[in-house]
Amino acid sequence: MKLLSAASALLPALILLISALLAARRCNAFDAFAAGAEEGIGMLKRLLPTLCGLLCATAMLRASGLPEAIAALLRPITEPLGIPEACVTLFLLRPFSGSASLALAKDCMSAAGVDSFAGRVAAVLMSASETTLYTAAVYSAAAGRRVSRYVILCGLAGDLAAMVFSVLCVRGLQ
Amino acid sequence: MLSYIWIGMMAAAVAMGICTGRLAEVGGAAMAGAQDAVELIFSLAGPMLLWSGAAELMRRGGVLSALSRAVWRPISGILRLPAVENELRENICLNVSANILGLGNAATPPGLAAAKALGSRKGDSLERFIILNTASLQLIPTTVAALRAGLGAESPYDICPAVWLTSAAALAVAMFCAVLCGRGKK
């Protein structure tokens, strides 16, 4: 459990350390912090319309009962892997859309409980994987030559591993 | 992509609502969901601002450039790039270290420049670089931790060790597949 509390102290420790470093070099640490925080406002402003549309859609989805139906359908696959049913739709959409999966992760965390097993698995999977298809598309377009198709397969294999390991790690480290 | 997913989610919800006779609940949930978004933004705001402030501190404090210098050895091994021109090397390092620090906006421009330069080289370094970017290298999951804090988690950052292990495993699997696929092609 020591490891877990150390992780919680990471952010304050980091801020203190770097501020001290900057102050020692006679740079204004607080100005730097404030300038960065101001950029955060822009991030929040861009995020709100996206979240509004997507949380609306995920709330409709949950009210319709479709996620449970899909989870029941996939039970033969998810049960042996120990994947919580509340996370199934999140797992399915994770490689396709970053903001849609963020909305689904929020949904899963607030429905199952943020500190519950399913809520933690959702948080870990969300953090430990990327929007594979989007990233691969953007970088392939920038490359200016044909990119081997196996890139997508490898990326998705990584996502699959992230799903399995998020369940294992949350169970193992609790 | 997002547009189709959005329409698909709503269409599926309405269709399922008609089938199960829960259309009224579905309609009500739309409003509740939109309200949820506003409340969520407010609970996210504190941690997110704190984190973006810390991110700027790291950039100005030279953490990004120090990390950039440190990541070259392992990264060149993963990408199988022995010696490359300085500009490419800098772009790759900046991309990887910005990803590690969770500075997504800072990671993309050098990443795309590196992809362009790698595209004109022989071998599968480009493929490996893209796969590296489809894996999550983030050291501190800032957005998700902010989300957890907003939802009242006891200790929002305590998922970190599980996140590190999971990302490392996912990256290892993806790279292992890349080695297999790259070999199969030759």
Contact between B56 and A36 using a beta-carbon 8 Å cutoff: yes
A135 touches chain B (CB under 8 A): yes
* Section B63-83 average pLDDT: 87
Residue B127 or residue B183, greater confidence: B127
Inter-chain contact B54–A11, Cβ cutoff 8 Å? yes
Give B121's pLDDT tier (boundaries 50, 70, 90): confident
Q: How many domains is chain A partitioned into structurally?
A: 1
pLDDT tens digits along A43-74: 889 889 988 999 999 999 989 989 989 999 99
- Cα–Cα distance, B154 to A23 (Å, whole number): 33
Checking if the pLDDT of B61 tops 90, the result is: no
Q: B135: helix, coil or strand? A: strand
Any B CB within 8 A of A165 CB = yes
In a domain, residue A7? The reply is: no
CA nearest neighbour of B125 among A145, A128, A133: A145
pLDDT at A1: 44
Contacts of B155 in chain A (CB under 8 A): 4-5, 8
| pTM beyond 0.90 | no
Quote the tokens at residue B143: 């957005």
* Chain B residues 39-68 with a CB less than 8 Å from chain A: 40-41, 44-45, 48-63
Cβ contacts (< 8 Å) between A91 and chain B: which residues?
none
Phi-psi region of A144 (alpha: psi -120 to 50; beta: other; left: phi over 0): left
Backbone angles phi, psi at B171, to 5 degrees: -65, -40
Using a CB-CB cut-off of 8 Å, the residues of chain B touching A52 are 34, 37-38
**What does the pLDDT look like over B11-55, one tens digit per residue?**
999 999 999 888 999 999 999 999 989 988 888 888 888 888 888
In chain B, the residue whose alpha carbon lies closest to the alpha carbon of A103 is B37
Domain extents for chain B? 28-185
What is the Cα–Cα distance from A118 to A124, expressed in whole angstroms? 10
The burial of B6, by beta-carbon neighbours within 10 Å (0-12 exposed, 13-18 middle, 19 or more buried), is given as buried
Q: Token pair of A31, please? A: 């100005």
The residue with greater pLDDT, B102 or A122, is: A122
pLDDT tens for each residue of chain A, 174 residues long: 455 555 567 778 888 988 988 888 888 889 999 998 998 898 889 889 988 999 999 999 989 989 989 999 999 999 998 999 999 999 999 998 888 999 999 999 999 999 999 999 999 999 999 999 989 999 999 988 888 889 999 999 999 999 999 999 999 987
Domain that holds residue A112: 29-172
B76 phi and psi angles, rounded to 5 deg: -65, -30
Average pLDDT for residues B128-139, to the nearest whole number?
92
Q: Best interface-test mutation with B: which of A8, A55, A167 has the largest number of B CBs within 10 A? A: A55
Fill in the amino acid letter for A55: L
| A84 lies in some domain | yes
User: Model confidence at B127, in pLDDT bands (50, 70, 90)?
Assistant: very high
How far is it, in rounded angstroms, from Cα B46 to Cα B50? 6
Cβ of A155 and B141 within 8 Å? Answer: no
C-alpha distance from B149 to closest chain A C-alpha (Å)? 9
Contact B6 A124 (CB under 8 A): no
What pLDDT digit, counting tens, does each position of A20-32 carry?
888 888 888 899 9
d(CA A46, CA A50): 7
Mean pLDDT of chain B: 88
CB contact under 8 A, B181 and A153: yes
Q: Are B101 and B63 spatial neighbours (Cβ–Cβ below 8 Å)? A: yes
Q: How far is A81 from chain B (nearest CA, A)?
A: 15
Q: What is the pLDDT of residue B59?
A: 84
C-alpha span between B64 and A95 (Å, rounded): 28
